[in-house]
Chains A and B, each alone.
Chain A
Amino acid sequence: MKERLSGNEAIATAMKQINPDVVAAFPITPSTEIPQYFSTFVNNGTVDTEFVPVESEHSAMSACIGAQAAGARAMTATSSNGLSLMWEMVYIASSLRLPMVMTVVNRAVSGPLNIHNDHSDSMGCRDSGWIQLYSETNQEAYDNMLMAHRIAEHPDVKLPVMVCMDGFITSHAIENIELENDEFVKDFVGIYKPEQYLLNHENPIAVGPLDLQSYLFEHKRQQAKAMENAKKVILEVSKDFENRTGRKYEFFEQFMMEDAEVAIVVLNSTAGTTKAVVKNLRSQGLKVGMIKLRVFRPFPANELAQALSHLKAVAILDKSEGLNAAGGPVFTEVTSAMQCNGISNVKTIGYIYGIGGRDVKTSDIESVYTNLLKIKDTDQIGNIYNYLGVRD
């Protein structure tokens, strides 16, 4: 059914339709509306969920861990410093192999304090063992939520999933959306049946040991294997979703890439701006394309490298500063993937952009393509580590 919803409303609607056992959350801009909407569903009896209005994000994640280990489906939502405060528990959730789902409404991490969008929050915990799905629009955020539990709970995976969307730009903008009906969601998401759980009195379990030199390495290896397995499962679940809704999802979306000579790699809402620029430049006969990464964890290294292999030049856009004197996190991972796949004839540059909610205009994106086309024509790469829209 067609609706007009903000990104936060879309997420809350998905949560309502999923009807999880426990939601524990603490408000933080710009994700605050999600627990607000959801507690209305709880208090109106629309869902069966126990809502735990915790006193901090650290406790939100701790309570979700407790709930999920207990045998429940648990969910939460946060942004920025809320995710920072959860940090310790975010790692524990994935290491205990608890398939919970968290929405991260991306916002700059302090300091100084800023409430607007960039990706420093979720990029900061890219190595925490969570699957990360990024969303360009409210529709993608909603669809990612419907797929998240299936991916997380798959027996070959059992890892938590983070669904990310851009703060304010996606979370607060009202756009058209196609919602699935409640029966579809119930059927698609399915019933959660954990093998072992704390509340099974017939088979009590112990969760969260002291895990020393003799075992921790093997447990981490299993966790890494689960992340590898997630690649196959994400594609299977996405295919099933596509068959039943007509909406196609893969690791990344390729936009006008087939005959492209230069391209941009980007995540989340900036992909929308980039598509508009690509269409405009294509109308001028320029062979430009775009890749929008949906799945950043697990990182589709080989697939991405192959998709970029026919280009002359590519720019990787990061909405978070690596602060490492070598490039943003997406840039360093994409270039590493290309190197490992033997792709050395594509010129690669990185851009840091949109930090702290700095507006990203079509003219900014155009300037990236102009630079890429110049690199293609002159074979001169110039600066590798670039900034977009910053005052020097």
Chain B
Amino acid sequence: MSYNFKESLMKKERFTSGHRMCAGCGAPVVVKAVLRALKDEDHAVIACATGCLEVSSFIYPYTSWNDSFVHTAFECAGATLSGVEAAYKAMKKTGKLPQDKDTKFIAFGGDGGTYDIGIQSLSGAMERGHDMVYVCYDNGAYMNTGIQRSSATPKFADTTTSPAGKEILGKQQSRKDLTMVMANHHLPYVAQTAITPNFKDIYEKAEKAIYTKGACFLNVLAPCPRGWVYDSSELAKINKMAIETCYWPLYEVVDGKYTITYKPNNKLPVEEFLKLQKRFAHLFKPGNEWMIEEIQKEVDTRWEELLRLESM
């Protein structure tokens, strides 16, 4: 069935309002968009790594999750959900669960819980091939503890552990390309996506990830107004510029085959993305032009690599 924006928005909400995520945060938008891809008749068990999403959506005795939900610790959403999925298989096999009802398994983790402290647990769960989707909402730093750098933080970004100081100007290392790392796990489905105005890209990728048998991975850009320092009304614009500059390319890898799902007609310079965020303010000071050039070079190299992979 082809994507229908209006119909998808009419589906019952699985993640309710009343949670305590910040205005202008990308994460709850990502969660809602991913969960819309679930068929109405399917039950889901959602696992969550410790992070902003978890501590803002399930504060005892309230929960925003209409499906079953489990949180254990920071680094083990992958392993926790693999246990749930194993239980499902065993209990279905022995008739302890109804045969005519499907349950889907979705994990959410921020870049801290996914790229860094949770990468072992994630890699293990994916390699074992549990029938689940792991969704990383990547906001590019440890936002829950107050904006510390992560391996997903872009080069030169100002964070509380990589401050733009007098001598050292922000994070000195490039960001880890986790989507590629996961693609090289040779999973049936890996995709990188973001929020677009009609939610089509994320919906279709989430649907494929949820309904492809086996372990699937989605990496979704999730801008953070506090860490990236932008006005909460700018969320859509930041997402758009991340995509139009190819800072955050939209693509999928199906059984090893790369497909770029959006190619800008006019690839914008990366500063169009950077200038919207105060975490990059120091890049725009006279004499620091080289920093933007370096980021541009990195974006170009990675984009060209992606084009090459797609052509193979």
Whether A209 contacts B58 by the Cβ 8 Å rule is: yes
Whether A70 contacts B63 by the Cβ 8 Å rule is: no
Whether B79 contacts A54 by the Cβ 8 Å rule is: yes
Whether A21 contacts B103 by the Cβ 8 Å rule is: no
Complex CA distance for A21 and B89, rounded to whole angstroms: 9
* A24 contacts the other chain (CB 8 A): yes
Instruction: Name the residue of chain B whose CB is nearest to the CB of A56.
Output: B120
Instruction: Name the residue of chain A whose CB is nearest to the CB of B73.
Output: A88
Q: Which of B121-129, B205-213, B238-246, B260-268 contacts A (4 or more CB under 8 A)?
A: B121-129
Instruction: Name the residue of chain B whose CB is nearest to the CB of A59.
Output: B79
Contact string against A for B residues 207-251, beta-carbon threshold 8 Å, 1 for contact and 0 otherwise = 000000000000000000000000000000000000000000000
Whether B59 contacts A50 by the Cβ 8 Å rule is: no
Contact of B121 among A59, A205, A206 (CB under 8 A): A59
Question: B85 contacts which chain A residues (CB < 8 A)?
Answer: 66
Whether A210 contacts B59 by the Cβ 8 Å rule is: yes
Contact of A62 among B58, B63, B80 (CB under 8 A): B80
Instruction: Name the residue of chain A whose CB is nearest to the CB of B63.
Output: A206
* B254 contacts the other chain (CB 8 A): no
Whether B60 contacts A70 by the Cβ 8 Å rule is: no
* B11 contacts the other chain (CB 8 A): no
Whether B79 contacts A66 by the Cβ 8 Å rule is: yes
* B61 contacts the other chain (CB 8 A): yes
Question: B87 contacts which chain A residues (CB < 8 A)?
Answer: 21-22, 50, 66-68, 70-72, 74, 199
Query: Whole-angstrom distance from the CB of B128 to the nearest CB of chain A?
Result: 7
* A204 contacts the other chain (CB 8 A): yes
Contact string against B for A residues 192-226, beta-carbon threshold 8 Å, 1 for contact and 0 otherwise = 00000011110011111111100100000000000
Contact of B60 among A21, A66, A211 (CB under 8 A): A211
Contact string against A for B residues 37-68, beta-carbon threshold 8 Å, 1 for contact and 0 otherwise = 00000010101000000110011110101111
Given contacts A59-B120, A59-B121, contact A198 B90 (CB under 8 A): no
* B94 contacts the other chain (CB 8 A): yes
Question: B91 contacts which chain A residues (CB < 8 A)?
Answer: 21, 70-72, 199
Contact of B120 among A55, A208, A210 (CB under 8 A): A55
Instruction: Name the residue of chain B whose CB is nearest to the CB of A219.
Output: B60
Query: Whole-angstrom distance from the CB of B110 to the nearest CB of chain A?
Result: 15
Contact of A201 among B43, B59, B61 (CB under 8 A): B43
* A49 contacts the other chain (CB 8 A): yes
Query: Whole-angstrom distance from the CB of A228 to the nearest CB of chain B?
Result: 23
Whether B60 contacts A50 by the Cβ 8 Å rule is: no
* A368 contacts the other chain (CB 8 A): no
* A263 contacts the other chain (CB 8 A): no
Task: Please tell me the size bucket of the interface on B.
Answer: 35 or more
Given contacts A59-B124, A210-B59, contact A21 B71 (CB under 8 A): no
Instruction: Name the residue of chain A whose CB is nearest to the CB of B82.
Output: A63
Question: A204 contacts which chain B residues (CB < 8 A)?
Answer: 43, 65-69
Contact string against B for A residues 219-237, beta-carbon threshold 8 Å, 1 for contact and 0 otherwise = 0000000000000000000
Instruction: Please provide the chain B residues from 89 to 120 with a CB less than 8 Å away from any CB of chain A in the complex.
Output: 89-91, 93-94, 96-98, 101, 103, 120
Whether A63 contacts B59 by the Cβ 8 Å rule is: no
Given contacts A21-B90, A201-B101, contact A212 B84 (CB under 8 A): no
* A48 contacts the other chain (CB 8 A): yes
Whether A67 contacts B68 by the Cβ 8 Å rule is: no
Question: A49 contacts which chain B residues (CB < 8 A)?
Answer: 90
Candidate in A55, A63, A71 with the most chain B CB atoms within 10 angstroms? A63
Contact of A67 among B55, B86, B101 (CB under 8 A): B86
Instruction: Name the residue of chain B whose CB is nearest to the CB of A48.
Output: B94
* A295 contacts the other chain (CB 8 A): no
Task: Please tell me the size bucket of the interface on A.
Answer: 35 or more
Query: Whole-angstrom distance from the CB of B144 to the nearest CB of chain A?
Result: 11
Complex CA distance for A208 and B75, rounded to whole angstroms: 14
Complex CA distance for A74 and B72, rounded to whole angstroms: 16
Query: Whole-angstrom distance from the CB of A186 to the nearest CB of chain B?
Result: 13
Question: B63 contacts which chain A residues (CB < 8 A)?
Answer: 206, 209
* B27 contacts the other chain (CB 8 A): no
Instruction: Name the residue of chain A whose CB is nearest to the CB of B94.
Output: A48
Whether B68 contacts A210 by the Cβ 8 Å rule is: no
Question: A88 contacts which chain B residues (CB < 8 A)?
Answer: 73
Whether B55 contacts A210 by the Cβ 8 Å rule is: yes
Whether B128 contacts A52 by the Cβ 8 Å rule is: yes
Whether A24 contacts B86 by the Cβ 8 Å rule is: yes
Contact of B72 among A50, A60, A65, A205 (CB under 8 A): A65
Question: B76 contacts which chain A residues (CB < 8 A)?
Answer: 58-59, 62, 89
* A92 contacts the other chain (CB 8 A): yes
Question: A211 contacts which chain B residues (CB < 8 A)?
Answer: 60
* A105 contacts the other chain (CB 8 A): no
Whether B124 contacts A71 by the Cβ 8 Å rule is: no
* B81 contacts the other chain (CB 8 A): yes
Show the binding face of B for A, using Cβ within 8 Å. 43, 45, 47, 54-55, 58-61, 63, 65-73, 75-76, 78-91, 93-94, 96-98, 101, 103, 120-121, 123-125, 127-128
Q: A206-B58, A212-B60 are in contact. List 12 more A-B contacts (CB 8 A).
A: A21-B94, A50-B86, A52-B82, A55-B123, A55-B124, A56-B124, A66-B80, A68-B83, A71-B87, A199-B88, A210-B59, A210-B60
Show the binding face of A for B, using Cβ within 8 Å. 21-22, 24, 48-50, 52-56, 58-60, 62-72, 74, 88-89, 92, 96, 198-201, 204-212, 215
| 9 A–B contacts from the bound complex (CB under 8 Å) | A21-B91, A24-B83, A50-B90, A58-B76, A72-B90, A198-B45, A198-B70, A198-B84, A210-B58
Nearest 4 pairs of A and B residues by beta carbon? A66-B83, A63-B83, A55-B124, A59-B79
